Homo-oligomer: A and B are copies of this chain.
Amino acid sequence: MSDYKIDDVARETGLTKRTIRYYEEIGLMPAPQRSEGGTRRYARSHIEHLQRVISARDVLGFSLQEIQEYMAYAEELTGQRELYPQLSEPDLQLSKLQEMDGTLELQLRKLDEKIGRILLLKEELEQFRKRVRGGIARLETEQANRTKTDNMEGTES
C-alpha cells in the first residue's frame, strides 16, 4: 500500500504541512488513515484531491468555502457509493440531483463569463503590445539610419 507522510504530500503539492492539516480541519479534505501512533497516512487520492483544490483556488480564485461546496458536489458525483449507502427515497434523490444540475449550470455560466472577461483583457494587452512593437520597430530603423550616417561621416573625415 503506497502511502505518504505529510511531508511527502507537502512536497508533492507545494502546500505547507500546516495548510494540509488546515484543509483537513475545515473539511476541505477527507481525513486520512492514521498509523497506530496517530501519524497521518495519505493515499494517492489525497494528493490528487489537493491538486484539484489548488487548481480551484488559484485558477478560479474560489474561496476555500466555495471550493468546499464545489468539492462536495464533485465527491457526491464521482461517488463513493460504498461509503454512503444508497439513499432509499428516490424523491429526495431526484430533487437533490435537480438542485445539483442548477448549481452546475450556474457555475458553468460563471466560468463562461470569466473566460469572456479574460479574453477581453487579453485583447487589450495585445493592443498594447502591438503599439509597443510598433515603437520598437520605428526606433530601430531610426537608429539604423543614424548609424549609417555616422559611418558615412566617419569615412568622409
Contact = CB atoms under 8 A, between A and B. Distances in A.
A19 interface: no
B93 A139 contact: yes
A71 to B, nearest CB: 12
A10 interface: no
Interface residues of A, number: 46
Interface in A111-137: 111-112, 114-115, 117-119, 121-122, 125-126, 128-129, 131-133, 135-136
Given A84-B135, A97-B136, A115-B119, A129 B108 contact: yes
A105 to B, nearest CB: 7
Contact of A111 (B91, B107, B125, B131): B125
A121 B133 CA distance: 34
Interface string A5-49: 000000000000000000000000000000000000000000000
Contacts of A4: none
Given A55-B121, A111-B118, A111-B125, A132 B90 contact: no
